[in-house]
Amino acid sequence: MTAELISGTEISKAILAEIKQEVDEMREKTGTVPGLVTILVGENPASVSYVTLKVKTALNLGFKEIQDNQPADISEQDLLALIDKYNNDPEIHGILVQLPLPDHVDDKKVLDAIDPDKDVDAFHPVNVGRLMIGGDVVRFLPCTPAGIQELIVRSGTETSGAEVVVVGRSNIVGKPIAMMMAQKGVGANSTVTIVHTRTKDLAAHCQRADILIVAAGVPNLVKPEWIKPGSTVIDVGVNRIGTNEKTGKAILRGDVDFDKAKEIAGKITPVPGGVGPMTICMLMRNTLRSAQKSI
Ligand code: GUN
C-alpha cells in the first residue's frame, strides 16, 4: 500500500485563499484590515528568511504589515518600550517577536510583555493557560500545533476516540498539540499519549497510534515497523542532513523514514511540504481572528 500524501503546500494555499476572502470582506464592510507587526532583532540569517516570508504572506493577503527591524544591540528596555507602543496601537492586531533574541535580552520578559490578546504566536502564559482550559476561552492556538490539527482534519482523519501518540514534549509543539487533541471538540476528542527520550518502549507506543505526530528533531527516528498499518503520520521534523552540491540548498529530512513509512501508513505528510507551510498560514489566521474580535 502507498499512503495518501497530506500536502501542507496545497492545504495551506487553500486556507490562505479563504483568509484572503475574509480580509477582502472585512475591508469592504468595515474599512479595516488585519494589522501585523513583525519585530526582528539583529540579522540571524534563518530569522531574516522566516520574517521575510511572513511579511510577504501578510502583504499578499492585504494585511497592514509593519516590519520593524531593530539592531542586535537594542537594549531590553527599548525592546519592551517598542512592544508597549504596539500593544497600544489600535491598528495592530498581532505582534510577533522573531526568536531567538540576542543573549543580553531575556526572551521570557519580552514575550510576557506582549498583550495576550495580540499574541498571535500564542507563546504568552495566558494563552498557554487558555489552551489548557479549552473551549471558548481559547483566543489563539500556537501556529505549528494549529497547522498539524488542520492537516489532520482536512485529510479526513477521524480523531474522535483515536489513539494519538505524540513523540516529543516541547513547549511549542509536543505539549500543546497533545493537549489540543485531548480536548473536547472538532478535530480532537482523542486518547493521547506523550512519549519522549525517557520513554521505555518507544516502538510499542508508536505501534498503537492511529495518529502518530512526531516532533523529536531526530532524522529518521521513527522506523517503518513502528507504524500501525493504515494510520495517519504527521512528521514535524525538519532536519538538515547535508547540502545539495549542485544547488547549494540544504537537504531536509523529517523524523520519520518517509520512503518506507509511506508503504505502511494510510496518510502521511512529506518533509518538506507538510507541516512547514502550515505554520505561517496559521499565524495569518490568528491575526485575522484577532482583527475580527477587535471590531
Ligand atoms: N523562531 C522560529 N520559529 C518561530 C515562531 O514560530 N515564532 C517566533 N516568534 N519565532 C520563531
User: Average pLDDT, whole number, for the chain?
Assistant: 97
Q: Please report, for the domain that includes residue 83, its CATH number.
A: 3.40.50.10860
Which CATH number covers residue 268?
Answer: 3.40.50.720
User: Could you tell me if the CB of 55 is within 6 A of ligand 1?
Assistant: no
Contact 206, 222 (CB under 8 A): yes
Whether 97 is in the pocket of ligand 1, judged by its Cβ within 6 Å, is yes
Ligand 1: distance of its center to the CA of 99 in Å? 5
- The answer to whether the CB of 188 is under 6 A from ligand 1 is no
Q: Is 151 in the pocket of ligand 1 (CB under 6 A)?
A: no
Do 58 and 110 reside in the same domain of the chain?
yes
The whole-number average pLDDT for the span 256-274 is 97
Backbone angles phi, psi at 12, to 5 degrees: -65, -35
HSE-up of 199 (CA within 13 Å, CB side)?
17
Could you tell me the three cell numbers for 86? 504596539
* 115: in domain: yes
pLDDT digits (tens, 9 = 90+) for 46-68: 999 999 999 999 999 999 999 99
Active-site residue numbers? Answer: 54, 98, 121
State whether 167 and 109 are in the same domain.
no
Ligand 1 pocket mutation, candidates 50, 95, 123, 124, criterion most atoms within 8 A of CB: 50
- Average pLDDT of span 269-274: 97
Mean pLDDT of 74-78: 98
CA of 98 to the centre of ligand 1 (A): 5
Residues 190 and 259 in one domain: yes
What are 142-182's pLDDT values in tens digits?
999 999 999 999 999 999 999 999 999 999 999 999 999 99
Give the phi and the psi of residue 211 in degrees, each rounded to 5: -130, 120
Residue 237 has pLDDT above 80, yes or no: yes
Nearest to 276 by CA among 253, 260, 293, 244: 253
Nearest CA to ligand 1 atom 3: 99
Q: How many CA atoms lie within 13 A of 40 on its CB side?
A: 19
Selection from 286, 280, 284 nearest residue 8 by Cα: 280
48 ligand 1 Cβ < 6 A: no
pLDDT(1) > 90: no
HEC string for 73-108: CCCHHHHHHHHHHHHCCCCCCEEEECCCCCCCCCHH
Q: How many domains does the chain have?
A: 2
- For residues 101 and 151, membership in a common domain is answered with no
Residue 266's pLDDT band (boundaries 50, 70, 90)? very high
* DSSP code string of 12-78: HHHHHHHHHHHHHHHHHHHS---EEEEEEES--HHHHHHHHHHHHHHHHTT-EEEEEEE-TT--HHH
Q: What residue's CA is closest to ligand 1, atom 1?
A: 99
How do residues 94-143 score in pLDDT, each as one tens digit? 999 999 999 999 999 999 999 999 999 999 999 999 999 999 999 999 99
Confidence (pLDDT) at 72: 98
Are 206 and 96 contained in the same domain? no
Q: Is 119 in the pocket of ligand 1 (CB under 6 A)?
A: no
Q: What is the amino acid identity at position 273? A: G
Contact 166, 213 (CB under 8 A): yes
What average pLDDT score do residues 207-226 get?
98
Q: How large a percentage of the chain has pLDDT more than 90?
A: 99
**What's the CA-to-centroid distance between 203 and ligand 1, angstroms?**
30
Cβ neighbors of 221 (< 8 A, separation 6 or more) are 167, 214, 237, 255, 256
Is residue 110 domain-shared with residue 48, that is, in the same domain? yes
**134 CA distance to ligand 1 middle (Å):** 23
Using the Cα atoms of residue 225, residue 276, residue 210 and residue 230 in order, give the sign of their dihedral.
negative
What domain range includes position 83?
Answer: 30-121
Q: What percent of the chain is modeled with pLDDT above 70?
A: 100
pLDDT confidence bin for 279, thresholds 50/70/90: very high
